[in-house]
Amino acid sequence: MARVFMKGTEAVAEAAVRAGCRFFAGYPITPQNEVPEYLSRRLPEVGGVFVQGESEVASINMVYGAASAGTRSMTSSSSPGIALKSEGISYCAAARVPMVYANFARGGPGVGSIQPAQQDYLQATKASGNGGFRMPVLAPATVQEAVDLTVKAFDWADRDRTPVLLLADGVIGTMMEPVVLPEPKSDEEVAAIKESKKSWACIGHELDYAHRAWIQPGNWSTLVMQQCNEEAAAMYESWKDEAMVEEYRTEDAEIILTAYGICGRIAKSAVNLLRAEGIKAGMVRPITVYPFPEAAYDRLDYTKVKAILDVEMSIPALFVEDVKAAVKGRCPIETCLCSGGNIMSREAVIEAAKKLVEG
Amino acid sequence: MNKIYTRTKTIQADKVSGFCPGCMHSTVIKLIGEVLEELNVVDKAACVLGIGCCGLHMDYIAYDNTTAPHGRACAVATGMKRTNPDSLVFTYQGDGDFASIGLAESMSAANRGENITVIFINNGIYGMTGGQMAPTTLVGMKATTAPKGRDPKEHGYPMHMCEILNQLTAPYYLERTSCNTPANVNKTKAAIKKAFQNQLDGKGFSMVEIVTGCPTNWGLDALRSLDFIEEKMLPEYPLGVIRDRSKEEA
């Protein structure tokens, strides 16, 4: 397919349509307004439905309804808006309703700032709603990866009947880059996906007590509720093998930069410049931040690695908690941080890395 | 002898109602089931339950159902109906769900004229949580969170959802009924049937508000709660058709 030049938000929206998404509900919030704007004109072209919800809360629940009825569905927002959706996300997880949502994260806490940030890490990976559920969290570092992960998100959501989060940030959303878009699913393929969910979708069934659709985000029976949670826990465990990671020039590295999303891209560039100066730097970039690719940190040669530099656009450091759990004390971990909507500077990363090397 | 009355097949034969004595949820659920059968649309039914006592029958109804987060039933129904226009999508909500925490979703779905049906149960109190004040609680009526009774100076006045929605242009059909007498039960059934038929005909948003009792939390027995409906609730919530666009079309 030919390459096209697209903004991150619009590329994600177009990728969703091509992946078979036929319902989107959302509410305006910067910096992701192009997603609903784009889909308001694009979805009707393919027989899909766009609704501007009266709130973030209503929007996620419209998605809950459409996805419960078997349609590939999506919503998107940015940090404070994602917080408002958290109840609905929890309901989707509990009721095993497959859906995709994107967070083009901005500064926080509170209304924060409208510029890019990675302050939502704990919310995204540990507690996107009440009740202790998990879901795949995919963190793109380029617009191309955002497109590819959007498609993957829909497939993963349907395969396991789970919500999937595309954890992007204001840089990925507002940046324009050349991308190769996926082949669009045909009307027949989209219809077949919906048809495959008919047995459980809440759309009406022949009168048969055993086979009504019963999509419930909880259960009156504590025993059944525990059983649901045990099944979910087994599913989370099975995801461990599906963790995705980019490991870059790690084989002989003495210093490892680790970062996700846009910071991973900045760190990768810093690795190349450090190498040009003769410093043996490498990078570990989790692409799935849940499941977390712990194995990549096991693969490091700790006889060579002197230190790990955690690079993130969050103060306090949040991603570093998962890094620490994966590294298990095998080498020192330092941080290079910015916050408030400021974008990580490559020079700051290089300087911090050099300091570590010098000891 | 001919059998002239049987239980609706939409309530599972081996299940028992979990509602309190004198509660009218079971009456309304029976009516919904009978209407679904009479309209021959059981296989199209997709019910969105609210949170509260209005969700207690999820286990024993035989048609498709889901439970929305508290107050969000009209948003869930919007997504469901928009992507599956052939389904008969209806919400079943109490007054806390529809008129308090869900006010934005309720008003907005009505304002968009979503082609869904709302069955709204108004008993003037929070049932499942134990008798707290609702937006529909009568002035002077005691609640566990208004121990001296609802005081307009502090709590404002009861909300009349049919009349509030009647300020919007889009809704097609708004009727308030009750189930306190056999005649009113029949009227409620006719209203539900009409509201479902409107959706099947693509007419848009229909709501039936049903004034019911909550003997347990009103602190009255079943019979005296019928008197309370007649003497106190219905003067505040007068029954009748508040909006019927089909009359304007005729």
What phi and psi, each to the nearest 5 degrees, are found at residue B152?
-55, -30
Mean pLDDT, residues A175-181: 98
| Residue A156 backbone class (left: φ over 0; alpha: ψ -120 to 50; beta: rest) | alpha
pLDDT tens-digit series, residues B186-207:
999 999 999 999 999 999 999 9
Q: How far apart are CA A164 and CA A158, in angstroms?
A: 10
- Cβ neighbours, 10 Å, residue A272: 12
**What are the b/e assignments for B107-145, b being 16+ CB within 10 Å?**
bbbbbbebbbbbbbbbbbbbbeeebbbbbbbbeebbbee
Q: Which helix (H) or strand (E) holds A158?
A: helix A143-160
Q: How far apart are CA B31 and CA B25, in angstroms?
A: 10
Query: Are B79 and A64 within 8 A, CB to CB?
Result: yes
Instruction: Give the pLDDT of residue B90.
Output: 98
pLDDT tens-digit series, residues A253-291:
999 999 999 999 999 999 999 999 999 999 999 999 999
**Minimum-distance CB partner of A65 among B41, B75, B108:** B75
**Minimum-distance CB partner of B104 among A58, A95, A208:** A58
**Minimum-distance CB partner of B72 among A61, A69, A205:** A61
- Chain B, residues 74-93, CB within 8 A of chain A, namely 75-84, 86-88
User: What is the share, in percent, of chain A residues with pLDDT greater than 70?
Assistant: 100
Tell me if residue A54 falls in helix, strand or coil: coil
Query: Are B104 and A57 within 8 A, CB to CB?
Result: yes
Query: Are B79 and A205 within 8 A, CB to CB?
Result: no
Residues of A near B (Cβ–Cβ under 8 Å) read 22-23, 25, 49, 51, 53-55, 57-59, 61-71, 73, 87-88, 91, 95, 202-209, 212-218, 220
- Chain B, residues 3-22, CB within 8 A of chain A, namely 9-10, 12
**Minimum-distance CB partner of A207 among B43, B82, B105:** B43
User: How close A8 gets to chain B, by Cα (Å)?
Assistant: 26
pLDDT band at B250 (very low <50, low <70, confident <90, very high): confident
The interface predicted TM-score of the complex, written ipTM, equals 0.96
pLDDT tens-digit series, residues B54-94:
999 998 899 999 999 999 999 999 999 999 999 999 999 99
Of A189, A352, A186, give the one whose Cα is nearest residue A263: A352
Q: Is the pTM of this model over 0.95?
A: yes
**Minimum-distance CB partner of B46 among A54, A59, A202:** A202
pLDDT tens-digit series, residues A204-215:
999 887 778 999
Name the residue of chain B whose CA is nearest to A58's CA. B75
Tell me if residue A69 falls in helix, strand or coil: coil
